[in-house]
Each structure stands twice: as C-alpha cells, then as structure tokens.
C-alpha cells in the first residue's frame, strides 16, 4: 500500500474515533435535556424512553419547563444568582484590572511579595475561610444588628475577594502582551500615568478584560459552598435552591433536570459568544510557562 | 537589540536608588493595588489568621457566641483529629483521606491523559475543525453542581443512562450494578469529574502543541522515528510547562473538590458513603451540620499543611528534572 494512502486511511480512522468520542462526551448533556422532558413517574420507575398516553402518542413533557418556576421559587434563585454574579463580576474586575496593570507595568518594592501572595491564596482550602467568615458574620450581626449573612452584599464582597487573585493572574498576561512602546510614546507626548492607563492600556486590553470578566461570572455562577452557608431563603442562589426539587417532600427529578438545563443555558451562551477570547486568555499564561 | 545597551545603561542607576525613592516613583502602582490589597487584607488574611487561631479553640454550637473568646484548648482539636480514636470527628475520617488520595491522583492523571489524546486528535487538519474543538469544550462549561446532579441521575440503578448503556444496549454486564453504594461509589465520583475537567487540559495542551516547531518532527522523520517515539521524545518534553501547571492545579483543585460529590448523593442532603466521602465534604459536614467548628478548623489547617508540602515536592521535582535535561 502506498504511503499516502496508508496515511489517509489512518487519518480517517482517527477521525471516526474522534467523532465517536465527541458523541460520548455530549451524551450526558443530551441525557439531561432528555430527562427534563420525561414525566416524574417515568424517572421514578426507571423507564428509559418517553411514555405514551392512552391514544398511543409519545408524551413530551414540555410543561416541566413551566412547572419548574412554580414548584420551587426558581425565578427568585435565578434573579439572586444574576444579581450576585453580575455585581461580583463588576467589582472584582475593577479591582483586578487595576492590580494586574500595576503588576505588569511597574516593578515596585513589594511587587514580588504581592504577586506571590496572590498565587499562594490558591492553595488555601475554601472551608478555611468559610468557618471564620461565617462566625464573623454571625457575631457582627449580633453585635451591631446589621445583617450580613443572608444579604447580597456579604456574598458579593466575599466572591469578589475570592475570584480576584485568579483574574489578576489571567489579566496580567493580557496587559503584558500590549506593547510597552505605545504607552511610552503617550508618556512622551505628555500624558499622565493615569491617562495612559485610561486612554491607551484599557482600550487595548478590553477584549481580555471582557473575557476575564465572563470567566469570573462563570466561576461565581458555579459556587456552592459559600452560598449554601451564607444565604437564606430570600437570597439563595441557583446551586442552593436547585436542591429543593428533591428532598423530604418531593422527588421531582424531571423538574430538577429542567432547572439544571435552564441554569446551564446562560453559561453556554456567554461562553460561546466569547469563546475565542476566553481560550486565548486562559492558555496564554500556561504556554508561556 | 538596538536600544538594549541604552536600557542597561539607564536601568543601572535604578538599583542604587534608595527604597524610599523607588516607592515614591512607583506611587501610582500602589494606588492601583490598594483596593485589592485592602480587600485581601479583610477577606483573606483576617479569616485565615482567625481560622488558624480557631483551630486551638473549643468552638462548637454552645461556645459559638463567645467567638474568639471561646475556651482555648491548645492542641486538643488536633489530638481529636489525628490521634484520639474515640472522638466523633474521626468517624469516617480515614475513609475520607483515602478516597481523597485516590480521587485526586486518578482524576488528575485521567484529565491529563484524556486531554492529551483528544488534543492530539484535534490537532490535525480536518473539515469542521473549529466546530469540533468548540463542541469538545462543552462539558467544561456545564456548572459543576449541574454535573453532580446530572450524573446522580445517570448513575441511577434503574433507568440511569450508564446502566441502560452497559446492560440493556451493549450487554457488557449480566446485571445492573448499583453505582451509588459500596465500592463503586469511588468511580461514580471520579468519572464525572474527569468528564467535567478534561476539556481544560485539552485546551491548554492544544495551545502548547501549536507552539512546537514542525521542523522537530521533520528531523525525527528523517531519523526514522515512529509516532510513539516522536511523542515521547518531542511532544511530551516540549509540553513540559503545560503539564507542569495542569498537574499542579489538578492536585490542588481536586483535593478541594466539593460540588460534584455533594450534589450527587441525595442531591445535597445525603451522605456520600464510605467510598464517596472526600476531605471537603467531611470537614463541611463536621463544621456546618455537626457544628464542630474547632475541629473543622484544625482539620483544614492540617489539609493546608499537607497541600503546601505537596506543592513544594512537585516544584522541587520539576526543578530537579529541569536541570537534568
């Protein structure tokens, strides 16, 4: 067999394996959507396909997507998640953009300490913060009467502080990729350092800042442990509230899968809108080593 | 190149400048990091120091109101966690440590392995390349709590996708195993985690693959090296910085894994069982369901110490092998 033919056949075989693997990878997501269209009794008794009604028609339970908002207060949880994650994104991006710019452009006494501390925070288990923060919040409320536990503000502040280190790490790469000469030229033309940051660096780093912000939003969207302990019935986010579909009083796996699908949609939309930027931002740091 | 000498010349006096002058010159940088530093002071440093202090306190539901004035008991919490066989904290602790070790090692290696294979597969030229790459990222976008819930439904004994696939359609097993009880549980938590996280490995490795110069492979072709040899002699060593980072973050994040496991068993309410419980779920249960904050803090301090050691060992190993090359 000639060389190029053999190579072509191997190529096709690899492509087939790849497509099979792609199918297997996407299968769980398909199963989630499929399960969300079943009736709750079908899932309970373990029927694989969709059931048929008396006239022999296949029953697709689109009404699960209507019931999920009534069964538990999912709209509230969605609203809470959007408010908390959105505010976290803005607050954390302001903090991390400033800090990342300072770290990438200035070599100042303490800059190494600061950037090492930022990396070191990634090693600390979240529960080690959570225990003192929980007790601090409870105690603070007892002492002053101002509630923090169970408010938006408490969670927004904590999330912002926690996602800032990683955003700084990504954003630094973006700022480092902007040629310094542009800023130097602006300085010579008489811009103040602040103007250079605002009119030169910020617009150039905008794609990176947006991508990092979206990534941060996704991280906050995914956070469970802090939200579990630090929210109450009114400020619950989706990961906390979604558990209520299955519990002491009911077992609505169908509604839970519908809610899970709904909770995934915003994330998927955001990600695929900005996929290129996010991928570039995440991989830039790793490849440079 | 042309201005290199000039920069060296200009930079040299910098080093002789006093610390005060350097601080003054970079004033703007301090303004820029001030908000972050302030936030980290209040929301990182303060809790951490308190957490370490709390690990020496007898802090539970009764003494919670005393906050930092709760009875100081020295190393009693550590004694309870590490040595005392009768303390309630120890129930299930050994299993949690064992599971965490297995889980972390298998998941880290698994995500790296699957990511590497798929990265090599999509690194070729084919039609619809960018679409396939984007679709492969899909699991990584699904939130981890959804991953836990979803796989909880997929592992169900009757009607769960896994048993339907293995038993009803492919007939690989003679009976339907129950995945969420007994020893199977460890696989029931490992496989979803690998499914969720391998696309990130693929993404990083793919970016690394694209930086490897084609000439290296051409030279190897001339020398008559096969694909296996080319992978181990060129691809894998060239990807060193990538898999160094991936293993480092894999070890950290998987040791602290929480969402997937807690959501899979009883959907946030149940106990993962002796083959599914991890360190984080164990400490979380001890702290926020049994209200033993002191021992919870002690256990997390110990976990942090172990983590620092692991990260150090990995850094050293990496440095040592780097010198050998």
B259: domain CATH number? 1.10.3720.10
Q: Report chain B's C-alpha Rg in angstroms.
A: 26
B101 and B219 fall within a common domain: yes
B129 and B236 fall within a common domain: yes
Interface predicted TM-score (ipTM): 0.88
Q: Measuring CA to CA, which residue among A50, A79, A70 is closest to residue A252?
A: A70
B27 and B155 fall within a common domain: no
Tokens of A87: 């505010």
- In tens digits, chain B (325 residues) has pLDDT values of 444 444 444 445 555 668 888 888 788 888 898 999 998 888 889 899 988 998 898 887 777 777 777 788 888 888 888 888 887 777 788 889 999 999 999 999 999 999 999 999 999 888 888 889 888 989 998 999 999 999 988 888 887 888 888 888 888 888 888 888 888 889 999 999 999 999 999 988 998 898 889 898 889 888 888 888 989 989 999 998 889 989 999 999 999 999 999 888 866 566 788 888 888 988 888 888 888 888 889 999 999 999 999 999 998 988 888 776 6
B101 and B228 fall within a common domain: yes
B157 and B266 fall within a common domain: yes
Residue of B23, B26, B121 lying closest to A18 (CB–CB): B121
| Residue B177 DSSP class | -
DSSP three-state, residue B287: helix
Compute the distance between CA of residue A173 and CA of residue A208 in angstroms, rounded to an integer: 9
Q: What per-residue confidence (pLDDT) applies to B9? A: 45
Q: What per-residue confidence (pLDDT) applies to B269? A: 60
Residue B107 maps to a domain: yes
Residue B70 maps to a domain: no
Average pLDDT, chain A: 86
Helices (H), chain B: 4-16, 19-25, 27-40, 46-54, 76-82, 93-122, 129-136, 138-141, 144-154, 161-163, 185-209, 214-222, 227-230, 236-238, 240-255, 259-264, 279-288, 293-324
Q: How far is CA B95 from the centre of its chain?
A: 20
Compute the distance between CA of residue A174 and CA of residue A100 in angstroms, rounded to an integer: 9
For chain A positions 189-218, those within 8 Å of chain B (CB to CB) are 193-194, 197, 218
Compute the distance between CA of residue A86 and CA of residue A92 in angstroms, rounded to an integer: 10
A21 touches B: beta carbon within 8 Å: yes
CA distances, A230 to each of A151, A223, A233, A240, B130 (Å): 8, 12, 10, 10, 41
Residue B9 maps to a domain: no
Compute the distance between CA of residue B208 and CA of residue B239 in angstroms, rounded to an integer: 6
Angle in degrees, 0-180, between the axes of helices A111-120 and B27-40, rounded to the nearest 10: 30
Compute the distance between CA of residue B228 and CA of residue A167 in angstroms, rounded to an integer: 38
Residues A122, B46 contacting (CB under 8 angstroms): no
Residues A240, A233 contacting (CB under 8 angstroms): no
Residue B325 maps to a domain: no
Q: What per-residue confidence (pLDDT) applies to B309? A: 93
DSSP three-state, residue A251: strand
Count of domains for chain B: 2
Tokens 């973050």 sit at which residue?
A: B249
The residue ranges of every structural domain in chain A are 69-288
B256 and B127 fall within a common domain: yes
**β-sheet bridge partners, residue A246:** A251
Compute the distance between CA of residue B274 and CA of residue B272 in angstroms, rounded to an integer: 7
Compute the distance between CA of residue A32 and CA of residue A35 in angstroms, rounded to an integer: 5
Mutate to test the interface with B, among A39, A45, A131, A160 (most CBs of B within 10 A): A131
Cα dihedral B68, B71, B74, B78, rounded to 10, equals -80
A80-110 per-position pLDDT tens digit: 999 999 999 999 999 999 999 999 888 888 8
Decide yes or no: CATH 1.10.3720.10 for domain A69-288: yes
Residue of B67, B262, B269 lying closest to A247 (CB–CB): B269
Q: What per-residue confidence (pLDDT) applies to B2? A: 45
Task: Determine if the pTM surpasses 0.90.
Answer: no
Task: Please give the residue of chain A at the shortest CA–CA distance from B298.
Answer: A128
Structural domain that includes position B218? 92-291
How many CB atoms neighbour CB B210 within 10 A? 11
B115 and B262 fall within a common domain: yes
A279 touches B: beta carbon within 8 Å: yes
Residue B283 maps to a domain: yes
Residue B118 maps to a domain: yes
Residue B307 maps to a domain: no
Tokens of B280: 């984080």
Residue B93's contacts (CB-CB under 8 Å, 6 or more residues apart) are B81, B282, B299
CA distances, A44 to each of B148, B161, B197 (Å): 18, 14, 30
| Residue A248 DSSP class | S
DSSP three-state, residue A108: coil
Task: Please give the residue of chain A at the shortest CA–CA distance from B50.
Answer: A132
Residue B138 maps to a domain: yes
B207 touches A: beta carbon within 8 Å: yes
């Amino acid at each position: 067999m000639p060389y190029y033919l053999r190579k072509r056949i191997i190529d096709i075989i690899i492509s087939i394996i790849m497509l099979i693997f792609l199918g297997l990878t996407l299968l769980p997501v398909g199963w989630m959507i499929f399960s969300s269209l079943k009736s709750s009794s079908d899932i309970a008794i373990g029927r694989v396909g969709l059931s048929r009604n008396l006239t022999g028609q296949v029953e697709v339970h689109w009404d699960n997507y209507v019931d999920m908002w009534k069964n538990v207060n999912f709209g509230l949880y969605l609203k809470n998640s959007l408010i908390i994650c959105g505010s976290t994104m803005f607050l954390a991006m302001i903090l991390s953009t400033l800090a990342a710019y300072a770290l990438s452009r200035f070599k100042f006494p303490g800059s190494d300490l600061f950037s090492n501390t930022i990396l070191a925070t990634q090693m600390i288990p979240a529960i080690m913060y959570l225990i003192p923060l929980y007790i601090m919040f409870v105690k603070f409320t007892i002492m002053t009467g101002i509630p923090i536990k169970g408010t938006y503000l408490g969670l927004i502040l904590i999330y912002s502080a926690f996602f800032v280190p990683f955003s700084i790490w990504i954003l630094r790469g973006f700022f480092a990729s902007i040629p310094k000469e542009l800023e130097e030229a602006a300085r010579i033309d008489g811009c103040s350092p602040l103007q250079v940051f605002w009119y030169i660096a910020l617009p150039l780093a905008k794609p990176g800042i947006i991508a990092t912000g979206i990534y941060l939003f996704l991280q906050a969207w995914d956070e469970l442990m802090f939200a579990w302990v630090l929210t109450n019935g009114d400020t619950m986010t989706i990961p906390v509230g979604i558990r209520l579909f299955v519990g002491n009083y009911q077992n609505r796996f169908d509604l839970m899968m519908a809610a899970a699908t709904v909770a995934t949609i915003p994330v998927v939309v955001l990600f695929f809108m900005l996929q290129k930027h996010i991928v570039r931002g995440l991989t830039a740091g790793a490849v440079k080593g | 190149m042309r201005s290199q000498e000039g920069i060296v010349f200009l930079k040299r006096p910098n080093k002789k400048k006093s610390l005060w002058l350097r601080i003054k010159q970079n004033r703007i940088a301090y303004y820029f990091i001030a908000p972050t530093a302030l936030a980290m002071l209040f929301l990182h440093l303060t809790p951490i120091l308190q957490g370490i202090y709390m690990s020496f306190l007898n802090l539970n539901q009764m003494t919670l109101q005393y906050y930092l004035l709760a009875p100081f008991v020295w190393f009693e919490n550590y004694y309870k966690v590490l040595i005392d066989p009768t303390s309630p904290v120890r129930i299930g602790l050994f299993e949690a440590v064992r599971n965490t070790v297995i889980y972390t090692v298998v998941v880290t290696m698994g995500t790296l392995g699957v990511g590497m294979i798929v990265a090599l597969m999509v690194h070729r030229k084919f039609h619809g390349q960018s679409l396939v790459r984007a679709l492969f990222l899909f699991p990584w976008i699904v939130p981890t709590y959804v991953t836990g819930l979803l796989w909880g439904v997929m592992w169900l004994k009757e009607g769960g996708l896994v048993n339907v696939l293995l038993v009803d359609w492919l007939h690989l097993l003679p009976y339907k195993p129950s995945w969420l009880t007994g020893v199977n549980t460890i696989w029931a938590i490992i496989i979803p985690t690998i499914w969720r996280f391998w696309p990130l490995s693929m993404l990083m490795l793919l970016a690394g693959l694209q930086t490897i110069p084609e000439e290296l492979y051409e030279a190897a072709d001339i020398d008559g090296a096969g694909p296996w040899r080319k992978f181990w002699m060129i691809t894998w060593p060239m990807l060193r910085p990538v898999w160094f980072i991936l293993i480092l973050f894999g070890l950290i994040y998987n040791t602290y894994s929480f969402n997937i496991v807690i959501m899979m068993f009883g959907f946030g309410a149940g106990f993962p069982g002796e083959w599914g419980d991890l360190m984080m779920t164990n400490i979380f249960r001890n702290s926020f369901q049994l209200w033993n904050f002191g021992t919870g803090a002690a256990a997390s301090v110990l976990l942090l110490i172990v983590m620092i050691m692991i990260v150090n060992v990995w850094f050293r190993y990496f440095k040592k092998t780097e010198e050998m090359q």
